[in-house]
Amino acid sequence: MTSDDDDLPIRVDFRDLATARTWIEETRIKRPYRPRFFAAFCAVLASRPKLRILELGSGPGQLAREILVHCDVHTYVALDFSPAMHEIAAEHLGELASRVTFVTRDFREPDWANDLGMFDAVVTLQAAHETRHKRHLVPLLERARSVVAPGGVLLYADHYLTPETKLPALAPARDEQPLALERAGFVEIELRYEEGNMALWCGTNEPPRDETTT
């Protein structure tokens, strides 16, 4: 017996190299709007200097390439549980790969954020649903916030629920997406881009209060 609260099993196993390559090709055709999301991530980050970036579920490195080319990146940590995806990302990034630290880790484990350091931005695209149930979204974002420096940002993009969604347990309603950021403790939550039933939200990790002015 299964209930709506059960985690869904992994359907597409990105740890398999052939499966990962097939997903990349199919996604290029099925989701032609993704480059506009890459640009929207870069638009948020472009004004910030010397960025320490962590990407969750970094996959084939497409977002990493755009950020590395268009933004002032000091360090870039690409976290994914698939060595196959890291291999593909290193290929895709070419010389830029030398600026990326590839971390193989499962973000469903509660200690995934340990020892990673602090970041000016945590970014994630089409990956948070891989916690395999939307009820894990807030805990994932809370852990992400634990490694965002004060004043730093979380950029979260993923699909939201529509009548056509095949696996509704994975997709929060559109209104629940910014609420999840709020529940995880982020402030100044803003929609930065939306297309194809996917939205990019930006939340800030509040800087510490200046006690001298209160």
Ligand X SMILES: C[S@@+](CC[C@H](N)C(=O)[O-])C[C@H]1O[C@@H](n2cnc3c(N)ncnc32)[C@H](O)[C@@H]1O
Q: How far apart are CA 76 and CA 134, in angstroms?
A: 27
CB of 214 to ligand X, least distance (A): 40
Residue closer to ligand X (CB basis): 180 or 188:
180
Q: Are 121 and 63 in contact (CB under 8 A)?
A: no
Q: Is 107 in the site for ligand X (CB under 6 A)?
A: yes
- The window from 43-51, 119-127, 167-175, 193-201 that contacts ligand X (CB under 6 A) reads 119-127
14: nearest Cα among 46, 53, 60: 60
Q: Is 102 in the site for ligand X (CB under 6 A)?
A: no
Give residues with Cβ within 8 angstroms of 51, minimum separation 6: 45, 71, 72, 73, 74, 75, 120, 121
Q: How many residues bind ligand X (CB under 6 A)?
A: 18
Return the residue nearest ligand X (CB atom): 59
Q: Please list the residues that pair with 104 across neighbouring strands.
A: 80
Residue closer to ligand X (CB basis): 120 or 130:
130
Q: Please list the residues that pair with 52 across neighbouring strands.
A: 75
Q: Is 14 in the site for ligand X (CB under 6 A)?
A: yes
Q: Please list the residues that pair with 124 across neighbouring strands.
A: 156
Task: Dump the DSSP string for 71-108.
Answer: S-EEEEEEEES-HHHHHHHHHHHGGGGGGEEEEE--TT
Residue closer to ligand X (CB basis): 63 or 68:
63
Q: Is 193 in the site for ligand X (CB under 6 A)?
A: no
Q: Is 108 in the site for ligand X (CB under 6 A)?
A: yes
Q: Are 147 and 122 in contact (CB under 8 A)?
A: yes
Options 106, 182, 188, 206; binder of ligand X; rule CB under 6 A: 106
CB of 208 to ligand X, least distance (A): 30
Residue closer to ligand X (CB basis): 157 or 181:
157
- Count CB atoms within 10 A of the CB of residue 87: 14
Residue closer to ligand X (CB basis): 11 or 209:
11
Q: Looking at residues 38 to 97 of the shown chain, list those that interact with ligand X (rule: CB under 6 A).
A: 57-60, 62-63, 80-82, 85
Q: Looking at residues 124 to 163 of the shown chain, list those that interact with ligand X (rule: CB under 6 A).
A: 125-127, 130
CA pseudo-torsion sign 120, 33, 177, 88: negative
| Residues of this chain that bind ligand X (CB under 6 A) | 14, 57-60, 62-63, 80-82, 85, 106-108, 125-127, 130
